Amino acid sequence: MRKFDPKRHRLPIFNSDGILLVDKPATWTSFDVVNFVRARFNIPKVGHCGTLDPAATGLLVLVLGKFTRISNSLSGVDKIYTGSLKLGIETDSQDMDGNIIRECDPSAVTEEALHETVMSFMGKSMQVPPMVSALKKDGKKLYELAREGVEIEREARPIEVYDIKVDRVALPDCDFTVHCSKGTYVRTIASDIGSKLGCGAVLTGLRRIASGKFSIEDAVSVDTLKTFEQAQLKEYVEKFLYEKALKIAAEAARK
């Protein structure tokens, strides 16, 4: 792929700095969104603050121009997700993108037991990240090793679940909301819920609705961005988010 060159673009270089909140659609990777925004609006520097899996939807925080300098600070905030899981199935990726490795009859699980198990994940714990992830081992991403049939031992990492609740139960399915720290794999929480119940579980849906002080309510869809001209994007970034972005940037600089 030819390297992006803003000087070859039909539009002038987009020179506004700030934060753009995007409602990422399913099947798009986080980098797909970054590359789309960069190319569509001729923005030399665009980054994102917190990867979403391709199957997941929801809030993706993009940083434009000088705000790329604080992307790490904005990535290190807590997140809120809504998710769905199905009992009785396990996959090698812990979501529906993977291969089924085990099936079990979950009919013995009661709604009360499911509620109690979900609530047991509140607080601080150590989580073993999934093999199918973007974490690296000796410079190679784990999902690349997984594709080669290689599985390595992963060290458990500290996470914290600030709040988790069951929103709907229709066994073997369950909808939930979780407020968690940076680096928490929600699909691993779903898998661990299934393991604790003895029947296995898989994440069937995931949507990020908040990242730090940013909410999905302020996000713009990719379809809407496709209709934007540069002036509309500039207005969105400056009028609706610029004051909040400046405040967050100042807080990040003090850390």
- In the annotation, is 192 catalytic? no
Over its C-alpha atoms, the chain yields an Rg (Å, rounded) of 20
Q: Which residues does 57 contact at the CB level (< 8 Å), separation at least 6?
A: 23, 24, 25, 26, 206, 207, 208
The catalytic residue among 17, 53, 95, 192 is 53
For residue 73, give both structure tokens. 């600070």
- CA 106/CA 121 separation, integer angstroms: 20
Q: Which residues does 109 contact at the CB level (< 8 Å), separation at least 6?
A: 87, 171, 172, 197, 199
Residue 165 sits at the vertex; the CA angle it makes with 159 and 166, to the nearest 5 degrees, is 130
DSSP 13: P
| Site of tokens 């013995």 | 108
Which DSSP string do the residues of 219-251 spell out, in sequence order?
Answer: -EEHHHHTT--HHHHHHIIIIISHHHHHHHHHH
Give the residue numbers marked as catalytic. 53
